[in-house]
Amino acid sequence: MVKSLIMETMESINAIVHGTHGDPFAILGQHQLADGRTAIRAFFPEATAVTLLRPNLPAKRMTKIHPDGFYTITLPQPPDGYSFDLTYHDGHNAERQDPYRFPSTLTNYDEHLLSEGSHRRSYEKLGAHPIRLQEIEGTLFTVWAPNAQRVSVVGLFNAWDGRRHPMRHHHSSGLWELFIPGLGVGDLYKYEIKSRANGRLFIKSDPLAFAAELRPKTASVIWKLDRHVWNDDQWMGKRPYHNALNAPINIYELHLGSWKRKKRGDEWLTYLDLIHELIPYVKQMGYTHIELMPIAEYPFDGSWGYQVTGYFAPTSRYGTPDECMAFVDACHQADIGVILDWVPAHFPKDEHGLARFDGTHLYEHADPRRGTQPDWGTLVFDYGRPQVSQFLISNALFWLDKYHIDGLRVDAVASMIYLDFSRKEGEWLPNQFGGRENLDALAFLRRLNSSIHEQFPGTLTIAEESTTFPDITKTAANGGLGFDLKWNMGWMHDSLNYIQNEPVHRSFHQNTLTFSLSYAFSEAFVLPFSHDEVVHLKKSMLSKMPGDRWQQFANLRLLYGYQWGHPGKKLSFMGGEFGQWREWTEERALDWYLFDEDEKHGQLHAFIRDLNWIYREKRPLYEEDNAWDGFQWLDFRDPDRSILTFARHAPSTGESVLIVCNFTPIVRHHYRMGVPHAGNYTEILNSDDKKYGGSGITNPYPLHSTPIPTHGQEHSIELTLPPLAVLYLA
């Protein structure tokens, strides 16, 4: 009978032994023979002998029918469960469960949703999940590789031998699945994929791995995501109010690895370290949210996280997934929202990543005119493939679900929208109507935002989009893309261009500042001074400022005061709040030593802290950012003196805050300014105050309005304008 079995199955056995079999469950495991008996087959190339173990029955030695380690045994009837006892070359023994005796866990409905790309939480089915199956602890692996001939799970547990754990193939969906007993949290793994297209072997990290090795290693790590006990119910219940467009939103953008380092060895702070270092700092400074530059796993430090290889794994640079959750939890308990920089526009070509995942252009568009990003040397997602869209939308929902993230800043939206982005004539492929818009990407962004707001109401989506593409923040149902907010890149460029002029030349460029109000309410905006503005020889924020050292600090305080007063939510990058001189780099911590070298850095720091808290406390500065109801020009027609005055209003309370900007180093005595209401006005912030490093020219007493028409207003006040300064009056 053994001889007959060998004759019938030798071709399949050779395919298993040589790693070419695409349907291992057809040969391995338990099978009923034509004569009613049961055959059990196993492949253990590492063993010198294999014994079958059955409950309450004698052990039986299995027969090796291939010298490379294929074993079989025939039984008169099916056993009531079984395992294997392996004898190794060094003489020791170990009991092993058979992965090929367990049934599939994928339902037809799961397969249907995953194959059509409509499973919005695919991370609940794909990836590596520690589970208990038929009373056996192990890990269930599932991966999408429709063009593979064979997919195997490999790791230290099988000496990275792809022959030993080939997966079950679901032909209709392109999914591969295998439950491996004995594997659990912390075990390393990858997928070995044999391409059907060319027969080549690829070793890939899991696209849905929940954890990853520390670079330069690239293995995926089995993790269980339900172990952290969350204590942020109060925040989560109030999150819609914290994230509302009529709430104060003042974002501190940071790179976790270079905000601060450990004093010894210049090591990164961990997620747990950051709970004790970063959170109290952000809380004291008065920021409402932090925005983390990408923390999904990435191989190259110099990419800052914008070239992702592990979309579902927080980078192991700073700790474990549980510790990352604890960090977010602690932020929420301190009433700090967490926004994640998210990168669905492109991915790197690293061999262990998504590129040519199953030997074909699976995640990326096959045509290089659409599938490559020339500026960054990366690949562009094929948004028209339902499973790729499903991967990205599930990833967005994953961070909101499992990590309680409060919002996503979507990177490089313009590169997604336009087919000719960074491409010359002839290097791009028009859409079906001959246009330059990527219709698949637009449809994806609408589905993304609709899914996020349906599944997690109260969370924010923010577009980093640098063009005039319309209706970015209009709802998808009304023809827009559905984002809550859009970075106002035009405001940022204009403001920096203006402030870098020497004051004597600013009178010729005042329209650069005032132009932003011509479109300020066309979208819901964030006003950003981000990391992009302090790298690649662009200088730090303080170094951009003209004049001597005193003027540089004064100009920067003035610029920030203008930013906080202008309609729009606020974002500033770490280091700018205390005036770092050097450009930012991910290779070192911020220059905190500056506080000890020059008191002006601490004074600027105090100004930003007070500015943040005034912003939070004064409703006119945030309540109505998206309509003229919240803004009023008082005077923008004074370019000769480079003065701007405007009012911010809170329609709900009738309160107002007046903002006065003097962009020259000249003191303006007896400056008469129109005011929207009669009454007394008090200076609540003056960037020229000595405590902020200014010259100390203030208006210390209440300013009484008089019925002298000025700036189109029936009443006015007279005050002194300090040099290169901003005043807030209430």
Whether residue 141 contacts residue 128, with contact meaning beta carbons closer than 8 Å, is answered with yes
Angstrom distance (rounded) from CA 195 to CA 19: 12
The DSSP annotation for 202-249 comes to EEE--TT-S-BPPTT---EE---TT-S----HHHHHHHHHHTSTTS--
Sheet holding 83-88, edge to edge: 57-61, 47-54, 83-88, 93-96
Structural domains of the chain, with CATH: 2-101 (2.60.40.10), 108-221 (2.60.40.10), 251-259+266-348+385-618 (3.20.20.80), 627-729 (2.60.40.1180)
Angstrom distance (rounded) from CA 709 to CA 730: 19
Q: What is the DSSP-derived secondary structure letter of residue 545?
A: S
Q: Which residues contact 56 (CB under 8 A, 6 or more apart)?
A: none
Q: Which residues contact 465 (CB under 8 A, 6 or more apart)?
A: 413, 414, 417, 472, 486, 487, 489
Angstrom distance (rounded) from CA 396 to CA 389: 11
Angstrom distance (rounded) from CA 318 to CA 296: 11
What is the torsion angle, in degrees rounded to the nearest 10, for the CA atoms of residue 637, residue 570, residue 592 and residue 297? -140
Angstrom distance (rounded) from CA 215 to CA 433: 44
- Report residue 201 as tokens: 């072997």
Kindly tell me the number of DSSP H helices and DSSP E strands found in the chain.
16, 37
- Other C-beta atoms closer than 10 Å to the C-beta of 544 total 17
SS3 557: helix
Largest Cα–Cα distance of the chain, in whole Å?
A: 112
What is the torsion angle, in degrees rounded to the nearest 10, for the CA atoms of residue 397, residue 401, residue 405 and residue 408? 10
Q: Which residues contact 668 (CB under 8 A, 6 or more apart)?
A: 641, 643, 662, 720, 721
Q: What single letter denotes the amino acid at residue 82? A: Y
Angstrom distance (rounded) from CA 96 to CA 50: 10
Rama region for 412: left / alpha / beta (φ>0; ψ in -120 to 50; rest): left
Angstrom distance (rounded) from CA 590 to CA 575: 6
Whether residue 222 contacts residue 205, with contact meaning beta carbons closer than 8 Å, is answered with no
Burial of 201 (0-12, 13-18, 19+ CB in 10 A): middle
Whether residue 615 contacts residue 250, with contact meaning beta carbons closer than 8 Å, is answered with yes
Angstrom distance (rounded) from CA 16 to CA 4: 18
Candidate list 187, 322, 464, 577, residue with the active-site label:
464
Angstrom distance (rounded) from CA 519 to CA 491: 10
- Report residue 337 as tokens: 């929202």
Closest C-alpha to 72, from 55, 51, 45, 88: 51
Burial of 22 (0-12, 13-18, 19+ CB in 10 A): middle
In this prediction, residue 558 carries a pLDDT of: 98
Angstrom distance (rounded) from CA 671 to CA 656: 20
In this prediction, residue 441 carries a pLDDT of: 97
In this prediction, residue 1 carries a pLDDT of: 45
Task: Please say if 411 is a catalytic residue.
Answer: yes
Angstrom distance (rounded) from CA 268 to CA 50: 48
Task: Please say if 718 is a catalytic residue.
Answer: no
Task: Return the sign of the alpha-carbon dihedral for residues 402, 403, 407, 412.
Answer: negative
Across-strand partners of 347? Answer: 379
Angstrom distance (rounded) from CA 485 to CA 230: 28
Which residue reads 């992702």 in tokens? 308
SS3 377: coil
Angstrom distance (rounded) from CA 608 to CA 564: 10
Closest C-alpha to 722, from 682, 650, 669, 651: 669
Q: What is the DSSP-derived secondary structure letter of residue 343?
A: -
- Other C-beta atoms closer than 10 Å to the C-beta of 440 total 20
All residue ranges of the chain with pLDDT < 70 are 1-8
Tell me phi and psi for residue 450, to 5 degrees. -65, -45
In tens, the pLDDT along 349-364 reads 999 999 999 999 999 9
| Bridge-based pairing state of the strands 201-204 and 188-195 | antiparallel
- Report residue 607 as tokens: 């100004």
Whether residue 723 contacts residue 661, with contact meaning beta carbons closer than 8 Å, is answered with no
Which residue reads 């109290």 in tokens? 280
In this prediction, residue 3 carries a pLDDT of: 54
- Report residue 526 as tokens: 């964030």
In this prediction, residue 10 carries a pLDDT of: 85
Task: Return the sign of the alpha-carbon dihedral for residues 131, 135, 138, 140.
Answer: negative
Angstrom distance (rounded) from CA 638 to CA 338: 41
Tell me phi and psi for residue 727, to 5 degrees. -120, 140
Closest C-alpha to 260, from 17, 554, 593: 593
Angstrom distance (rounded) from CA 706 to CA 715: 5
Tell me phi and psi for residue 672, to 5 degrees. -100, 130
Which helix (H) or strand (E) is 603 found in, with range? Answer: helix 599-617
Q: What is the pTM of this model?
A: 0.95
Angstrom distance (rounded) from CA 663 to CA 514: 13
Candidate list 411, 484, 494, 624, residue with the active-site label:
411
Q: What single letter denotes the amino acid at residue 56? A: N
In tens, the pLDDT along 492-501 reads 999 999 999 9
| Bridge-based pairing state of the strands 310-314 and 296-297 | antiparallel
Rama region for 426: left / alpha / beta (φ>0; ψ in -120 to 50; rest): left
